[in-house]
């Protein structure tokens, strides 16, 4: 295991700057997710740690050693690519052994022992003699993971590790990755655009936006307390509603149509704001009760839940609700929310 330190990383491709002064410390044994939309710089940052991309300026340290100018093979890292990059003419065992053979790590017997251990870790020892074309997508993903961990690298880098799997396999592999990380304790950095994947796997999430770190924290912290409109909308797809906050014994947010919503007592600034309302925090009930009045625009059936699109204060908002009660298109409903769950952001 090793710590990773990025200091004031800038990266440009010609005149196009994609990373803007990113500094980041990753502790030994952490499982860190780089999360963001396409083009935000997360994959470029991962490739910089790997040594597959150089920096325009800044430094990369692994385990206290400056590796900024070192090639990938001298950084003691392993990277698992989104495409898996398995060699089709080699068996599973030979694919996993490949990095050991290329780097001359150990004797043939030692290499074979490490391959067995790596395949046992991903529960594929019984398929060691098959070719990649004879494996399912999930099995190929496990082979790629075994190849990444076989040399016991100081840092494991994963580029969109689950993006090629269907929903059920993705859920299974999330559990598998968590358990493997617990067993091996490798310092792990992974790239994803999937917020659910980032929330389920990470010890810490680094949310990137336009080549900058927008916010970082534990999954619970960054989900419950986003510090910007971007963080609120990207993590959890919160509803962002313009409002004006007013002080008093019971502070409120006044919406564009004059409706008033109670907010937390510890708000420190008043005036123009944007309130972030998570879809799952809003409770929907029959019209006429105490709360915000809204009109149902449409309902989307999700199996275990319904998602309603409502008209509120001249804009569309989304609400997740149980299937116990169904509201028809055009119906008026009442929305309530715990004031502590209302996040006020700068306009």
Place domain 237-346 in its CATH homologous superfamily.
Nucleic acid-binding proteins (2.40.50.140)
How far lies 230's CA from each of 223, 257, 276, in Å? 12, 24, 10
Domain ranges of the chain: 4-224, 237-346
Please tell me the predicted confidence (pLDDT) of residue 9: 97
Please tell me the predicted confidence (pLDDT) of residue 237: 80
Over range 223-245, report the average pLDDT.
89
Give every CB contact of residue 121 below 8 A, 6+ residues apart in sequence: 146, 149, 180, 183, 184
61 secondary structure, DSSP code: E
**Nearest alpha-carbon partner for 35 in 197, 176, 184, 179:** 197
Please tell me the predicted confidence (pLDDT) of residue 265: 65
Tell me the CATH number for domain 4-224.
3.40.50.300
Over range 186-208, report the average pLDDT.
93
How far lies 200's CA from each of 45, 173, 265, in Å? 21, 11, 31
Please tell me the predicted confidence (pLDDT) of residue 20: 96
Please tell me the predicted confidence (pLDDT) of residue 249: 76
Please tell me the predicted confidence (pLDDT) of residue 267: 61
Over range 303-322, report the average pLDDT.
95
Element (H, E) at 246: strand 239-246
Banded pLDDT at 325 (limits 50, 70, 90): very high
For 241-295, what is each residue's pLDDT tens digit? 999 988 877 889 999 999 999 998 666 566 888 999 999 999 999 998 899 999 9
Please tell me the predicted confidence (pLDDT) of residue 21: 95
Tokens of 67: 């590796």
Please tell me the predicted confidence (pLDDT) of residue 165: 76
Q: CA 176, CA 256: separation in Å to the nearest integer?
A: 47
Q: CA 338, CA 196: separation in Å to the nearest integer?
A: 24
Q: CA 67, CA 61: separation in Å to the nearest integer?
A: 6
Banded pLDDT at 42 (limits 50, 70, 90): very high
Over range 146-175, report the average pLDDT.
86
Write b or e for each residue in 35-46: b if 16 or more Cβ atoms lie within 10 A of its Cβ, otherwise e. Answer: bbeeebbbbbbb
With 80 as the cut, is the pLDDT of residue 336 above it?
Answer: yes
Residue % of the chain over a pLDDT of 90: 67
For 202-211, what is each residue's pLDDT tens digit? 999 999 999 9
Torsion of the alpha carbons at 179, 185, 187 and 188, rounded to the nearest 10: -10
Please tell me the predicted confidence (pLDDT) of residue 85: 83
Over range 327-339, report the average pLDDT.
96
The pTM is what? 0.85
């Amino acid at each position: 295991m090793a710590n990773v330190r990025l200091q004031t990383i800038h990266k440009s491709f010609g005149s196009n700057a994609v990373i803007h002064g990113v500094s980041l410390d990753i502790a030994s044994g952490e499982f860190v997710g780089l999360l963001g939309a396409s083009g935000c710089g997360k994959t470029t940052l991962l490739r910089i740690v790997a040594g597959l991309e150089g920096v325009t300026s800044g430094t990369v340290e692994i385990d206290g050693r400056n590796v900024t100018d070192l090639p990938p093979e001298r950084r003691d890292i392993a990277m698992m690519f989104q495409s898996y990059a398995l060699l089709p003419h080699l068996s599973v065992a030979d694919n996993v052994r490949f990095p050991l053979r290329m780097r001359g790590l150990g004797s043939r017997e030692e290499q074979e022992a490490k391959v067995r251990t790596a395949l046992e870790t991903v529960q594929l020892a019984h398929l060691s003699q098959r070719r990649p074309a004879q494996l399912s997508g999930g099995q190929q993903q496990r082979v790629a993971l075994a190849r990444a961990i076989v040399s016991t690298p100081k840092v494991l880098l994963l580029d969109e590790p689950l993006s090629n799997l269907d929903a059920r396999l993705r859920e299974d592999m999330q559990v598998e990755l968590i358990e493997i990380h617990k067993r091996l304790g490798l310092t792990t950095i992974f790239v994803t655009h999937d917020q659910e994947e980032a929330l389920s796997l990470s010890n810490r999430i680094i949310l990137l936006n336009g080549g900058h770190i927008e916010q970082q924290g534990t999954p619970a912290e960054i989900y419950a307390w986003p510090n910007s409109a971007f963080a609120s909308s990207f993590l959890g797809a919160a509803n962002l509603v313009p409002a004006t906050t007013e002080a008093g014994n019971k502070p409120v947010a006044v919406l564009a149509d004059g409706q008033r919503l109670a907010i937390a007592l510890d708000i420190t600034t008043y005036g123009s704001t944007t309130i972030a309302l998570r879809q799952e925090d809003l409770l929907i009930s029959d019209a006429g009760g105490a709360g915000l009045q809204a009109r149902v625009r449409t309902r989307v059936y999700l199996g275990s839940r319904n998602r309603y699109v409502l008209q509120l204060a001249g804009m569309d908002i989304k609400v997740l609700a149980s299937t116990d009660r169904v509201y028809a298109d055009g119906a008026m409903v009442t929305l309530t929310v715990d004031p502590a769950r209302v996040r006020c952001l700068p306009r």
